């Protein structure tokens, strides 16, 4: 089972299962009473969990031989509880074979298809951009950094916090941006789409798993600058590269001016958190900047809500305990209206509909 499947299946009752995952963290700790135990952080393509090895279990001594980065099969009796989350009191483990590691890194067939479609959508929408400067800088970036973009996470916690999560987040946001631009024709669609593509691009260094792993190592550049500053630096770098191409010579007569386009694109990256208190160096000052901020917040929040329904602790019928940073407990959504057979109609060959 995947970690996400295991979490959903083991709600408050023990479940015998096996999970394949990478050991992304390993630390020896003590309880308040001074009792030693090991804490293992495990991750696969769609989720994370903490496993504990208590001093009175057989696997306690084994943990001293494990190393971060190893790929393991963990078999045991799992349970998901409010106090400890997903855990196993009794478990054993073994190293994965090379073929098993390759399958694990590839992710489930469903996840592979989802992320491949997300990347294809990003490429398709970038190709549809009319402004050659905005389209060109995005295409040039994908040519050189596409592989890194496809494996980056959108966050360490909360939303799309998984290998490949960033492309899912960006693809969904670009689809929404495309629809919003159609509803509000005063918006600059080209700028909004490319700004959406680049808004979190600094996370390729702040939140990027290793090529062959699920853990997200801390990066000095990411720690010192943050993804907004890195994103601005990256766009400026690729903009300069673009201006050195033969195509750029034809852009001197284009309107709006090329430098103005660059500045507005940078503003979208700089302001997308929406508030100085949340890390943006400037607040949104253009229609596209406001739209991007709200689209980003919408996609991130809905991802957290849907994940909470799957992974949260039930408090009562249709009520799920609060999952931070959401503001309160969740209530199961109202099902979509299912009309009775008499209202559904059918095809009338005489009428043709």
pLDDT at residue 185, as a whole number: 97
Q: Would you write out the chain's pLDDT as a tens digit for each of its 353 residues? A: 888 788 778 776 788 999 999 998 999 999 889 999 999 989 887 778 888 898 888 889 889 899 998 999 999 988 877 666 777 878 999 999 998 998 888 777 788 888 899 999 999 999 999 999 999 999 999 999 999 999 888 877 778 777 888 999 999 999 999 999 999 999 999 999 999 999 999 999 888 877 777 777 788 888 899 999 999 999 999 999 999 998 898 898 999 999 999 999 999 999 999 989 888 999 999 999 999 999 999 999 999 898 888 777 788 888 888 888 888 999 999 999 988 877 776 556 565 65
Structure tokens at 332: 């199961």
pTM exceeds 0.85: no
Helices (H), the chain: 3-9, 59-63, 98-106, 109-127, 132-151, 165-183, 189-198, 203-206, 220-243, 258-271, 287-311, 341-344
pLDDT at residue 129, as a whole number: 98
pLDDT at residue 82, as a whole number: 63
Query: CA dihedral in degrees (54, 58, 61, 65; nearest 10)?
Result: -110
pLDDT at residue 200, as a whole number: 93
Query: CA dihedral in degrees (188, 192, 193, 199; nearest 10)?
Result: 160
d(CA 330, CA 322): 6
d(CA 171, CA 196): 9
pLDDT at residue 40, as a whole number: 92
Would you give the distance in Å from CA 129 to the centre of its chain? 24
Q: How many CB atoms neighbour CB 264 within 10 A?
A: 18
Q: How many CB atoms neighbour CB 152 within 10 A?
A: 27
Burial (CB count <10 Å: 0-12, 13-18, 19+), residue 12: exposed
């Amino acid at each position: 089972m995947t970690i996400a499947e295991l979490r959903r299946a083991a709600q408050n009752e023990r479940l015998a299962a096996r999970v394949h995952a990478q050991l992304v963290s390993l630390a020896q700790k003590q309880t308040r009473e001074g009792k030693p135990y090991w804490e293992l952080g495990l991750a696969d393509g769609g989720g994370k969990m903490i496993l504990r090895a208590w001093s009175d279990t057989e696997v306690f001594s084994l943990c001293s031989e494990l190393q971060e980065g190893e790929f393991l099969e963990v078999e045991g009796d799992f349970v998901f509880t409010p106090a400890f989350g997903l855990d196993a009191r009794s478990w054993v483990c073994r190293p994965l074979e090379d073929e098993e590691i390759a399958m694990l890194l590839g992710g489930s067939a469903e996840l592979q298809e989802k992320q491949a479609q997300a990347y294809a959508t990003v490429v398709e929408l970038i190709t549809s951009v009319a402004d050659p400067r905005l389209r060109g800088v995005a295409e040039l970036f994908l040519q050189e950094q596409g592989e890194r973009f496809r494996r980056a996470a959108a966050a360490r916690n909360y939303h799309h916090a998984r290998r490949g999560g960033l492309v899912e987040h960006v693809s969904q946001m670009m689809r929404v941006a495309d629809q919003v631009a159609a509803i509000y024709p005063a918006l600059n669609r080209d700028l909004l789409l490319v700004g959406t593509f680049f808004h979190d691009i600094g996370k390729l260094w702040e939140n990027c798993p290793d090529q062959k792993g699920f853990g997200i190592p801390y990066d000095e550049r990411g720690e010192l600058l943050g993804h907004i500053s890195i994103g601005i630096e990256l766009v400026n770098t690729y903009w300069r590269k673009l201006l050195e191409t033969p195509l750029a010579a034809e852009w001197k007569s284009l309107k709006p001016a090329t430098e103005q386009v660059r500045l507005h694109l940078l503003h979208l990256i700089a302001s997308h958190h929406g508030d100085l208190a949340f890390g943006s160096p400037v607040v949104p000052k253009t229609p596209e900047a406001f739209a991007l901020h709200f689209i980003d917040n919408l996609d991130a929040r809905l991802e957290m809500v849907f994940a909470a329904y799957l992974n949260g602790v039930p408090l009562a019928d249709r009520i799920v305990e609060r999952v931070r940073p959401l503001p309160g407990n969740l209530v199961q959504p109202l099902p979509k209206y299912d009309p009775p057979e008499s209202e559904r109609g059918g095809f009338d060959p005489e009428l043709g509909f």
